[in-house]
Amino acid sequence: GAGVSQSPRYKVAKRGQDVALRCDPISGHVSLFWYQQALGQGPEFLTYFQNEAQLDKSGLPSDRFFAERPEGSVSTLKIQRTQQEDSAVYLCASSLVQGGGTQYFGPGTRLLVL
Amino acid sequence: RKEVEQDPGPFNVPEGATVAFNCTYSNSASQSFFWYRQDCRKEPKLLMSVYSSGNEDGRFTAQLNRASQYISLLIRDSKLSDSATYLCVVRGSNYKLTFGKGTLLTVNP
């Protein structure tokens, strides 16, 4: 079956530009996660949704980062006024059950801010 | 101190070698433990969960020592296709996965 998909796969933005990254989780998966992976590092947690509810946004680095999942399926991570330090791979993961369960990752969006 | 620390690597080994990765975690309340594999420019994929009794999956053996807060992964008879970054991952009582920095393995012919 289809896995987690993300778009765009690559995004180049000028500093100060707003970007929107999309995640399509596996159909029926309740939980959705966003992670940020800087070059040479492991992924770091950003935020967690259970269906449409954003239960944890403690990992979002600043108020320029905003995520939503309005209908409990597709999610969008928006970064306003991008900075060079936002350059990273943004990974989305979904899992079947609330909170726990195996997290399946999408291919990521590679963001480069110039 | 980082929550999950791994051998810095990189590891370069010949085909057929046995290689071991080590990992320590700082949160004694951690409940679930995993090894993920990440190929270059790809997403992380679950390799195996790690249980207190130790577990094996073919050429891969994982061990957990809760008292020492230590996790290991042993790969026997390494193949060229094992070349990847291996990520040690811990989950607490909630849903968050905490990743180590990863250890790069290159298996040479």
The strand pairing partners of A67, in sequence order, are A77
Q: Is the predicted pLDDT of residue A32 greater than 70, yes or no?
A: yes
The mean per-residue pLDDT over the stretch B64-76 comes to 95
Instruction: For residue A30, give every residue at least 6 positions away whose Cβ sits within 8 Å of its Cβ, in sequence order, or none.
Output: A50, A51, A95, A96, A97, A98
CA B49 to chain centre: 10
Is the pLDDT assigned to residue B1 strictly greater than 70?
A: no
3-state secondary structure (DSSP) of residue A27 = coil
- Mean pLDDT, to the nearest integer, of A99-110? 91
The secondary structure of A33-65 as a DSSP string is EEEEE-TTS--EEEEEEETTEEEE-TT--STTE
As a dihedral over the C-alpha atoms of residue A44, residue B95, residue B44, residue A40, rounded to 10 degrees, the angle is 20
Residue A80 distance to chain B (closest CA, Å)? 25
Nearest to A91 among B32, B43, B100 (CB): B43
State which residue of chain A sits closest to B91, comparing Cα positions.
A100
Per residue in A70-98, pLDDT (tens digit) is 999 999 999 999 999 999 999 999 999 88
Mean pLDDT of A10-18: 97
Angle (nearest 5°) at CA A62 between A57 and A66: 55
Contact assignment for A42 to B87 by CB distance below 8 Å:
yes
Between A and B, how many residue pairs show a Cβ–Cβ distance under 8 A?
A: 47
pLDDT of residue B44: 95
The nearest CA of chain B is from the CA of A101 a distance in Å of 9
| B97 Cβ contact list (under 8 Å, min separation 6) | A33, A35, A43, A45, A103, B34, B89, B90, B91
Sign, Cα dihedral of A20, A80, A30, B46: positive
DSSP-assigned beta bridge partners for residue A109: A90
Say whether pLDDT at A4 is over 90.
Answer: yes
Report pLDDT for A1. 58
- A45/B98 touch (CB, cutoff 8 Å), yes or no: yes
Q: Which amino acid is at B108?
A: N
**How close A92 comes to chain B (CA, Å)?**
9
The pLDDT of A31-56, averaged and rounded, is 95
Residues of chain B with pLDDT > 70: what percent?
Answer: 99
The answer to whether the Cα torsion of A98, A101, A104, A110 is positive or negative is positive
Q: How are the residues of chain B apportioned to helix, strand and coil, as percentages rounded to the nearest 5?
A: 5, 55, 40
Interface of A with B in 40-99 (CB under 8 A): 40-45, 48, 56, 59, 91, 95, 99
Is it the case that residue B41 has pLDDT exceeding 70? yes
Lowest mean pLDDT among B28-32, B55-59, B99-103: B28-32
